[in-house]
Amino acid sequence: MLIGSVSFVQCSSMSIVGLRRKVSFSNGELSTLWRNFRARVPEIKHRVDQNCLSLKFLTAPEYLQIHPNFEFEQWAATQVSNIDDLPEDMSSFQTEEGSFAQFIHYGTSIDFRTTIKTVLMDILPKSDYHLRDGSYFEVLGPEYNPFDPQAQETVFLPVKDKT
């Protein structure tokens, strides 16, 4: 299996800085966004750590409808302690606090489809939670390579109690 155990956690709000763009998995813009962001990371002041954040904004129904041509807002970002001195053409955002399903995906970014399907179709329905609208994000370590079969990313999906 390409997934670690799923836990349900409370996350505080985060300040992030990065680049954002409307993308799909099939139009090549996703890799362009990340290439541009990685080249400009040294310009970002007040970084909390060396990790990058992949942030997507989706409504709960959209999670189940994602296909190669589905368009969504994608951020390539990093967490910062404050948003002063934004680099030119970069944006800032404050993530929402709340409940999240947290798990580790092991494998390539292409393998992620299998992982997310398992979480959405098998694990979440058996839990006390369901998806809520909001941003979902992945924490990518400094050496993350989306084509490495040994890659790891920590994923946070927004959830709420079923009750």
Question: pLDDT tens digit string along 7-20?
Answer: 999 999 999 999 99
Question: pLDDT tens digit string along 56-89?
Answer: 877 656 656 666 677 788 999 999 999 988 999 9
CATH of domain 7-11+18-104+112-161: 3.20.80.10
CB atoms within 10 A of CB 140: 20
- The domain segmentation of the chain, as residue ranges, is 7-11+18-104+112-161
Residue with structure tokens 């990058």? 52
Say what the pLDDT of residue 1 is.
45
Beta-strand pair 52-58/134-140: antiparallel
> Can you list the alpha helix ranges (DSSP code H) found in the chain?
29-40, 60-63, 112-118
At residue 40, the 3 state secondary structure works out as helix
Q: Residue 78 in contact with residue 17, Cβ under 8 Å?
A: yes
Question: pLDDT tens digit string along 83-128?
Answer: 988 999 999 999 999 999 999 999 998 888 788 888 988 999 999 9
